[in-house]
Amino acid sequence: MMLKERLAAEIPLWRERVRKLVKENGHVKVGEVNISQVYGGMRDVKGLVTDISYVDPVDGIRFRGYTIPELLEKLPKPEGAEMPYAGGLYYLFLIGALPSLEDAEEVEREWKARQAVPNYVFDIIRAMPPDTHPMTLFTQAVLALQSGSIFSTQYHHGLKKDEYWIPTLEDSLNLTAKLPTIATYIYRWKYKHGYFIPSNPDLDWGGNFAHMMGIPEEEYKDLSRLYFLLHSDHESGNVSAHATHLVGSSLADVYYATSSGLSGLAGPLHGLANQECLAWLLQVYNVYQGVPDREELRQFAWETLDSGRVIPGYGHAVLRKTDPRFTAQLEFGMKHMDTDDIFLLAKLVYEVVPDVLRDQGKAKDPWPNVDAISGSLQYHYGIKEFDFYTVMFGVSRALGVTANAVWARALSQPIERPKSLTTAMLEDIASKA
Ligand SMILES: CC(C)(COP(=O)(O)OP(=O)(O)OC[C@H]1O[C@@H](n2cnc3c(N)ncnc32)[C@H](O)[C@@H]1OP(=O)(O)O)[C@@H](O)C(=O)NCCC(=O)NCCS
């Protein structure tokens, strides 16, 4: 397998690089931790390492050093498509270099060969009460695949530590290959009376997802490719990435680890933000019985702030400019739906709300993040079941977390074990400071 060969060439170089860094500079401090951070969710504590993505305060996310606009230009695309192959992105995550068209298509071929979902997984989904949250079904399906873990089987038969990454790569490809089918099965079962649309072998991973969703517009395939690229990875400290890494650090396989990350994604403070944004837009739309004018929107935004609530989709912990993931989706919308009211409203909010937030003077970043717009694009294509948005996020995020899992095993990252203190100990430290 091409990915395995290329990784086998890369990994020894990285192992040596990390070994040398730790041996020669292991004592060098990278930061300090204060009491606010210990009580404050470890915000900004530098305690993780990943080479797959980094959030730059100005450029936003960089995947393997490339910005979103660079990747949209440079990653190979299916013939006639506007947006890149997810397979090329996965290659970039794993190998660290831009793929050729051949490389991207090779990953897509690997996925196709591994995409069949065992029937018992569908049985599990169908056995659940119909009102089960789609994220519960999705997480269960991922966990149900665990019995097929090649890593677990090989580990129990004795596997050398420096080969852990090989079955982890197999598991990662096997799992990610199946996610479009599983996610769309859940969608069709829950919301479309169970009329399941079989996979189209001529389509790529992202395009096939769009096809199996049953969305007829051709450009929805491109929106899916774009969405999966934009949500795939966001450093390692966010809940889904960190939960996956933490669980994987116990040598639990990729199925256990990813399903833990997905459980984290299901929380309202993480993967659910995009649906809150759309709900806010629809609320504005309902109040004004259409798209309001600027002044009305300004007033509505102030009312939201004055009632002590936040404007969803605006602000960011790290970024200090418009999130390039927002811009990429805005550009897509301007090209494909520039007469859609909800999209136009999202665009108007972008023109009005940053000034309101600046006037209020609290938010450090008055600019939109990825969530300010993604829901409105899905809504345009008729995906109005908000609960499902997090599943799409999960399909995408699995690309990032599984690629990180391969590298965590390749670099023998150890079990995570931060130290905790008692409140009395912290009080004692404070009294002596
Ligand atoms: C994303 C977010 C959680 C970042 O939090 P953060 O790093 O603490 O942000 P800041 O340091 O700029 O916050 C400073 C103050 O501005 C406020 N603020 C930040 N973004 C705001 C927004 N969109 N609307 C209103 N107030 C906002 C904060 O609530 C905070 O107020 P406080 O001092 O009364 O507690 C925050 O901007 C937010 O809540 N945004 C809206 C929800 C959202 O879009 N979530 C999706 C995240 S990807």
Q: How confident is the model over 108-121, as a mean pLDDT?
A: 98
Ligand 1 contact, 356 CB (< 6 A): no
Q: Which of 222, 323, 365, 371 is catalytic?
A: 371
- pLDDT at residue 88 in the model: 98
- pLDDT surpasses 90 at 319: no
Confidence band of 63 (pLDDT split at 50, 70, 90): very high
Secondary structure of 91-136 as H, E, C letters:
HHHHHCCCCCHHHHHHHHHHHHHCCCCCHHHHHHHHHCCCCCCHHH
Ligand 1 contact, 316 CB (< 6 A): yes
DSSP string of 2-63, one letter each residue: HHHHHHHHHHHHHHHHHHHHHHHHTT-------HHHHHTTTTT------SSEEEETTTEEEE
Distance in angstroms (rounded) separating the CA atoms of residues 431 and 424: 10
Q: Which of 270, 340, 341, 387 is catalytic?
A: 270
Residue nearest to atom 33 of ligand 1 (CA): 362
Confidence band of 317 (pLDDT split at 50, 70, 90): confident
**pLDDT > 70 fraction of the chain, expressed in percent and rounded:** 100
H helical segments located in 307-370: 324-336, 341-360
- pLDDT surpasses 90 at 136: yes
Ligand 1 contact, 273 CB (< 6 A): yes
Confidence band of 191 (pLDDT split at 50, 70, 90): very high
- pLDDT surpasses 90 at 365: yes
Residue type at position 216 = P
Q: How confident is the model over 165-177, as a mean pLDDT?
A: 98
- 3-class DSSP state for residue 345? helix
Ligand 1 contact, 314 CB (< 6 A): yes
Q: What is the dihedral of CA 141, 142, 144, 150, to 10 degrees?
A: 150
- pLDDT surpasses 90 at 37: yes
Q: At what angle do helices 341-360 and 273-287 cross, to 10 degrees?
A: 100
For residues 318-357, one letter each, b for 16 or more C-beta atoms within 10 angstroms of the residue's C-beta and e for the rest, the string is bbeebbbbbbbbbebbeebbeebebbbbbbbbbebbbebb
Range from 66-70, 275-279, 284-288 carrying the lowest mean pLDDT: 275-279
Best mutation site among 303, 309, 364 for ligand 1 pocket (most ligand atoms within 8 Å of CB): 364
- pLDDT at residue 194 in the model: 86
Distance in angstroms (rounded) separating the CA atoms of residues 211 and 108: 16
Q: How confident is the model over 118-139, as a mean pLDDT?
A: 97
Residue 270 designated active-site? yes
Mean pLDDT of the chain: 96
Ligand 1 contact, 170 CB (< 6 A): no
Dig out the tokens for 10 from the structure: 């890369």
Residue nearest to atom 5 of ligand 1 (CA): 317
Residue 231 designated active-site? no
Residue 234 designated active-site? no
Confidence band of 425 (pLDDT split at 50, 70, 90): very high
Spatial strand order of the sheet with 60-63 comes to: 53-56, 60-63, 66-67
Q: Report yes or no: 221 and 81 within 8 Å, Cβ to Cβ.
A: yes
- pLDDT surpasses 90 at 163: yes
- pLDDT surpasses 90 at 273: no
Atom of ligand 1 nearest to the CA of 305: 25
Dig out the tokens for 296 from the structure: 């009305």
Closest C-alpha to 161, from 402, 417, 403, 411: 411
